[in-house]
Amino acid sequence: MTMRRIALVAVALAAGCFTATAAEKPVELRRDAGRDRVEANCTACHSLDYVLMNSPFPSAAQWDAEVAKMIKAFGAPIDEADAKIIADYLKRNYGS
């Protein structure tokens, strides 16, 4: 067993002992107008890989519906102006 492997095993064991939360890694969205609004609003509740995983297939109507669902069904506190910026960003960058 190499030193590197030993070190990694030790880190893994320590993680298992002291925390049960996932080690979230940063998700990079495409640089485009509105990305800051997506990051500021959406990441409060979920990681941004939800966007990437659901791409590039949603139609414009589906992205509108997803944003509306987050606000209406899941109570995301996003104002109307931001909601439009977010939906437009998603349609432009991750739509079909």
Given the rule CB under 8 A, which residues bind other proteins?
4-5, 8-9, 12, 15-16, 19-22, 24-25, 27, 44-47, 49-50, 52-58, 62, 66, 73-77, 94
Q: Minimum distance between the CB of residue 30 and other proteins, rounded to whole angstroms?
A: 11
Q: Minimum distance between the CB of residue 9 and other proteins, rounded to whole angstroms?
A: 7
CB-CB contact of 51 with 29 (8 Å): yes
Tell me whether residue 50 or residue 92 sits nearer to other proteins (CB atom). Answer: 50
Both tokens of residue 46?
Answer: 């979920």
Q: Minimum distance between the CB of residue 25 and other proteins, rounded to whole angstroms?
A: 6
Handedness of CA 72, 78, 79, 82 (dihedral sign): negative
